[in-house]
Structure 1
Amino acid sequence: MSQSNKNNFIKMDKMLAELPWYVEEYIDHKSRRLSSTSLLNYVHDLKIFFTWLNDELLQEHPKIIALENLEKLTIRQVESYLKFLVHQLGNKDVTVNRKLSSLKSLFNYLQNTAETEDLKPYIQRNVMAKIEFNDLKNDQETIANKMEGKILQGKEYSEFRLFIAHDYGELHKDNKKKYNFHVQNRERDTAIISLILGSGLRLSEIANLDITDIDFNKSTLRVIRKGNKEQYVYFSTQAMSDLQAYMALRETKYHVDKKNKALFISAAMGPRGTNRRLTPRAIEKLVEKYAMGFGKPALSVHKLRHSFATKYHLEVNDVPKLRKQLGHSSVQTTMIYTHLKDTDLKEAVEKMDIPEE
């Protein structure tokens, strides 16, 4: 188990200790299909709800909230909670929907999956089934306006990569510490950015990659997607070139123990000089650093993923292939995925390498 997963489970155990027993049972049920990050998000959302409900019921502790209390919840009370998320916590509609989705999932489990010893459901009445999600529909023009200026476009793809590989160091030549740090890590950092822009991988997927996950012959990466689903994702030729350049220097530059299979390594830290897998937060910070220097501070790992998707759609114009490449899943697109051919998907990704005129 990776250190990131261990940390997630430690945080979960701490929060679950403050929640009712049936929440822990529900999370245990979900654990067979979800990653530790997704489980942690569920627990976090449920803790917010039960803390609010505890205050609403004037009880001493969320842990003692009984199933009967959930069964007696009214629609007005649930709507009051959703207003609390908006007005007190400042949550946007999309965040409110996510937290409502967590509650719907819990209540569905209590009503339709869990059983008492006499084979009866934990709750008979499910108020969450009566609550609708916020309508998040936006027209394409609105979405485009929000995204404009926050992603890479046109020649910026190659320019941003070049900035990381070379120009950032030149920009900070007078700062010995920054310059030396960049020289030490430029191949690694270029490979990370190039891989996101050449595959559209998520932050967690990039951070969790092992060197054994790469197949240079097939231009594929083995990734564990949301829901612990294994998938082989294609990456571009430019990403391959940058990965190979980094891999050639990985052991000598970072003095990596051969037992350490993590693809992206941090510089040695601590008295023993231990190398560790680069954490998701560390990857976020390096993207933020380069984005600021490049003059597009709104760039993030997620925006780089958006950049890949935008360019892919403009050049390939095949939404089903794009959905599979990004690892998106929904009831509406499940059947589309089953008709995709891997050879077509590989050719689509390769088109990403056509140079800008």
Structure 2
Amino acid sequence: LHDKAIIRLDADEVALLLDFVENCGNELSGQALNYYKKTKDRDLAILTLLLGTGIRVSECVGLDLTDVDFKNNGITVTRKGGNQMVVYFGVEVEKALKHYIEGDRKAATPLSGHENALFLSTQKRRMGIQAVENMVKKYARQVTPTKKITPHKLRSTYGTSLYKETGDIYLVADVLGHKDVNTTKKHYAAIDEDRRRKAASAVKLRES
């Protein structure tokens, strides 16, 4: 089992984070405000996607425009080891992605070789892993200063929510792209503790 507790966002912190990205422009001015306006829809799309699908940051920056399928609400990601898989997303992710793709992404003129990239940097190139990590840290610091939140922590947040909702460790392993379900079990064993405690009061021996 894990020696250290998994750091993840609680449900209210997820909402706070997304609200903050949507509205923090009110507190900015000058150059910071200009930069925020340029990147807001993209950043919101990335954060919503990471929190709503649990994909890895490497999978996120590797996405092309053609990997997004709004007909079935799925994205084709290239997993570790190179195999491809469709990961499905819900309405919130759909909304954030559409808003970005039909707005800022459509208006952008990418540099040569970066035309297909879904997420572009302000230099009009495909965003790199480091850029997404910095962006996540920048926003998360404002919302949860005591937790060090990285894109991987957003993945853990998603995995935790999915496991709590479904109780299906095999589904969680599959969606997260874990080759071995034991990897998943190791990470989410702490949640099982809570469930085991509930078992203690679930069975009534005598009606009171």
> TM-score, normalization: structure 1?
0.48
Q: Deviation at 1:160?
A: 1.0
Report the residue type matching 1:266 in the other structure: S
Q: What is the CA–CA distance in structure 1 between the aligned matches of 2:42 and 2:52, rounded to whole Å?
A: 15
Matches within 5 A, 1:82-231: 137-138=1-2, 146-147=5-6, 150-166=7-23, 168-171=24-27, 173=28, 175-231=29-85
From 106, 112, 121, the equivalent of 1:251 is 106
Q: Deviation at 1:234?
A: 1.0
Report the residue type matching 1:245 in the other structure: H
Q: What is the CA–CA distance in structure 2 between the aligned matches of 1:315 and 1:330, rounded to whole Å?
A: 21
Q: Deviation at 1:257?
A: 6.3
The SS at the match of 1:262 is coil
The SS at the match of 2:11 is coil
Q: Deviation at 1:251?
A: 2.4
Report the residue type matching 1:180 in the other structure: N
The SS at the match of 1:155 is helix
Structure with bigger RCO (C-alpha 8 Å, 6+ apart): 2
1:311-357 Cα deviation digits (max 9, x unpaired):
11111211111111000002879xxxxxxxxxxxxxxxxxxxxxxxx
The SS at the match of 1:242 is helix
Report the residue type matching 2:22 in the other structure: A
Q: What is the CA–CA distance in structure 2 between the aligned matches of 1:210 and 1:305, rounded to whole Å?
A: 20
From 235, 248, 266, the equivalent of 2:89 is 235
1:178-233 Cα deviation digits (max 9, x unpaired):
11111111000000000001100001000100000011111111111011111111
Q: What is the CA–CA distance in structure 2 between the aligned matches of 1:194 and 1:151, rounded to whole Å?
A: 15
The alignment yields a C-alpha RMSD, in angstroms, of 2.0
Contact 2:73 2:88 in 1 (8 A): yes
1:150-191 Cα deviation digits (max 9, x unpaired):
32112222221111122x2223x2x41111111111000000
Q: What is the CA–CA distance in structure 1 between the aligned matches of 2:95 and 2:181, rounded to whole Å?
A: 37
Matches within 5 A, 1:281-292: 281-292=130-141
1:96-131 Cα deviation digits (max 9, x unpaired):
xxxxxxxxxxxxxxxxxxxxxxxxxxxxxxxxxxxx
Report the residue type matching 2:8 in the other structure: I
1:313 maps to which residue? 163
Contact 1:153 1:311 in 2 (8 A): no
From 260, 265, 281, the equivalent of 2:120 is 265
Q: What is the CA–CA distance in structure 2 between the aligned matches of 1:325 and 1:331, rounded to whole Å?
A: 11
Report the residue type matching 2:177 in the other structure: G
Report the residue type matching 1:236 in the other structure: G
1:29 maps to which residue? none
The SS at the match of 1:223 is strand
> TM-score, normalization: structure 2?
0.80
2:152 maps to which residue? 302
Contact 1:264 1:278 in 2 (8 A): yes
Identity in percent: 31
1:9-43 Cα deviation digits (max 9, x unpaired):
xxxxxxxxxxxxxxxxxxxxxxxxxxxxxxxxxxx
